[in-house]
Amino acid sequence: MARTSDPHAATVKAWETRGRALPGTGSSPTQIRDAVYRREQWDGRERSFQGALADRDVRQFTKEWFGREMSQEDVADLAGAPPGSEVNIDYSQGDDGSLSVRTTFPEGAGDSYRSIDLPTKTIYNLDMGVQSGRRGQGIGASVLEMEVESGVKQGFVRIAVMAVGKPNTGVSGYNAWARLGFESDEPVKGPDGPIGLNALMSQPGGAAWWRANGHSFGGTFSLRPGSASMRVFEEYRRLKREASRGAALKHLRPGQEWQAG
């Protein structure tokens, strides 16, 4: 069946032309279409910028500390600020060469706090909260995907996080960040003793064991091509695509299967 009726065709074509695919995954129409669908919940909305630093200030600061200019929009991308967000960019107090980015997600979905350390090319994920009614909708993964895509593009090398929580407490950062590819800075307690977190998550049944038995950890997501973090994240994205495609197929008429990806 021809895809001429695809309402996303123009957007997908634009993304193909610009190469807007997650680095390391290629740029096939299906992969790009997946990204378009995920971001579409807020796409088309402009970010609003508040706070002490105007765009010219951000450009001057990044040129001084990073060697080239980045705009407010570039810094917001590094912080994973979704379209339609309210973004507050300021200097990080007492930390030379860093910018703090506070983001309020659209529709009251949540907020985040990031520190962009220019000299070390590190994004620090200091805090993020998603409102209870919006959990489970892939917001955290979409935010991270934007950070990863922009971080690779800008030459950053890592994303750091303190993932807190434990089972049955309602605080699930320990599990969310592990599923998305963050490696523990120190070996974690696994079913058979100390083990690297990415290694545990890659084992059969490892993710389920960690969800039921895991704990807080300091972690790092390596932005280097082919890293374990990138591989775990791609596997997470693959499983989510399959689940989304399966759900979409249930609502399609015969002959429309292409619309699910």
| Structural domain boundaries in the chain | 29-134, 157-251
CA-based R_g, the chain, Å:
19
Q: Which of 116, 120, 112 is nearest to 176 (CA)?
A: 112
- pLDDT value, residue 246: 53
Quick one: pLDDT band at residue 23, thresholds 50, 70, 90? Answer: very low
Instruction: Name the 3-class secondary structure at 199.
Output: helix
Would the CA dihedral through 142, 43, 154, 49 be positive or negative? negative
Confidence check: pLDDT of 4 > 60: no
Amino acid at 85: S
**Residue 123 C-alpha from the chain's centroid:** 12
Global confidence as pTM: 0.74
- pLDDT value, residue 119: 95
pLDDT digits (tens, 9 = 90+) for 126-182: 988 877 666 666 677 788 889 999 999 999 999 999 998 888 887 888 998 898 889
Confidence check: pLDDT of 184 > 60: yes
- pLDDT value, residue 56: 95
Contact 207, 201 (CB under 8 A): yes
pLDDT digits (tens, 9 = 90+) for 196-250: 998 998 889 999 999 999 999 999 999 998 898 988 888 887 877 777 655 543 4
Taking the CB of residue 94, how many other CB atoms lie within 10 A of it? Answer: 6
- pLDDT value, residue 237: 78
Contact 101, 116 (CB under 8 A): yes
Quick one: pLDDT band at residue 20, thresholds 50, 70, 90? Answer: very low
- pLDDT value, residue 232: 84
